[in-house]
Homo-oligomer: A and B are copies of this chain.
Amino acid sequence: MKEYCFGIDVGGTTVKLGLFNQSGDILDKWEIPTRTEDHGKNILPDVAEALEKKLQEKNISKDDVIGAGIGVPGPVDDNGVVHRAVNLGWDVFNISEVLGSLTGLPVKAGNDANVAALGELWKGGGQGYKSIVMVTLGTGVGGGVIVNGKILSGCSGAGGEIGHIHIVDDEEDSCGCGNHGCLEQYASATGIVRLAHRRLQSVTEPTALKDSGVSAKTVFDAVKAGDTVAIQIAEEFGLYLGKGLAAVASVVNPEAFVIGGGVSKAGDILFSFIEKNYKKYVFHGSRDAKFELATLGNDAGICGAAKLLLD
């Protein structure tokens, strides 16, 4: 019986890899650099070589391996077709076929945020639920929608791109996507810094926050210390995020939202700002959705990637 499985999470600077057993225990995990030069043509051969070496090192036969799952920072559809991954230099191609051919293993692929959501459902903050939306508050706002245990990839892999829901009409700054007023511009770590700069320029109340060096962490640390201005910034963050997640819930009616990414290190205090706005704007049929913190951190990607194979 096949008893092993690989989970791979391709990032812009490193590829994280994990060796799993069927129960989902991580037997080993390691990283290799992501070689993005030459349109990223070395990335998949490097991954294949790393898997081969690991099998030799552990003395595992390829016959005992179910396959490899891989998460990619770009849209991936249900057939394993990557629809460009700008940070890796990749154009459109079927990654399941290419990595499958390089490794001789069955390969399933997904978008990295979607795959991380699957990981959190399986072994993290989403355990016990069948349908969740994972919200990753990092440099951007990533999203992953899981319905009845399966990733909702979308027809061209752009499902769960909740960071680009339009939230504010009169925004003059551009989002990374080219639009104006996307959720990501207010609810990401970068967005919180933007909100802080704007408020600190006009505020008259005393505050421990300083315009230079302000970060999502310093904002929420100050919130915990009772800083009025920091609380105002967090209120604004919570208004936009609560409103955005209410829109998401009106579409997919999940059991829970799982909040991850760097900003989520602030902990449960986030929920006090998000949930009241969520409940204000959401359709009543979705008002009871739970809010949970992600627990897997950087392992969410390799776990979810492995889970792609274990379904």
A9 CA / B185 CA spacing, docked (Å): 43
Contact of A162 among B148, B158, B165, B250 (CB under 8 A): B250
CB distance from A128 to the nearest CB of B (A): 12
Residues of chain B with a CB closer than 8 A to A282's CB: 164
Residues of chain B with a CB closer than 8 A to A246's CB: 165-166
Binding site secondary structure of chain A: loop
Q: Mark A149-172, 1 if CB is under 8 A from B, else 0.
A: 000111111111110111000000
Nearest to A244 among chain B residues (CB) is: B247
Any chain B CB within 8 A of the CB of A75?
A: yes
Contact A156 B288 (CB under 8 A): yes
A283 CA / B160 CA spacing, docked (Å): 11
Contact B164 A250 (CB under 8 A): yes
Contact of A177 among B83, B166, B284 (CB under 8 A): B284
Residues of chain B with a CB closer than 8 A to A131's CB: 154-155
Question: Of A56-64, A89-97, A226-234, A251-259, which binds chain B?
Answer: A251-259
Q: Mark A163-206, 1 if CB is under 8 A from B, else 0.
A: 01110000000000111000000000000000000000000000
Contact A156 B286 (CB under 8 A): yes
Contact A251 B159 (CB under 8 A): yes
Contacts A143-B251, A161-B253 aside, 14 further interface pairs with beta carbons under 8 A come to: A147-B147, A154-B285, A157-B253, A157-B285, A158-B249, A159-B252, A159-B253, A161-B250, A161-B251, A161-B286, A164-B283, A165-B247, A166-B246, A179-B280
- Pick 30 A–B contacts, CB within 8 A, sort by A: A75-B285, A145-B251, A145-B252, A147-B147, A147-B152, A152-B152, A153-B253, A154-B252, A154-B285, A154-B286, A155-B255, A156-B285, A156-B288, A157-B253, A157-B285, A158-B249, A158-B283, A159-B251, A160-B251, A161-B250, A161-B253, A161-B283, A161-B285, A161-B286, A162-B251, A164-B283, A177-B284, A179-B280, A247-B247, A248-B251
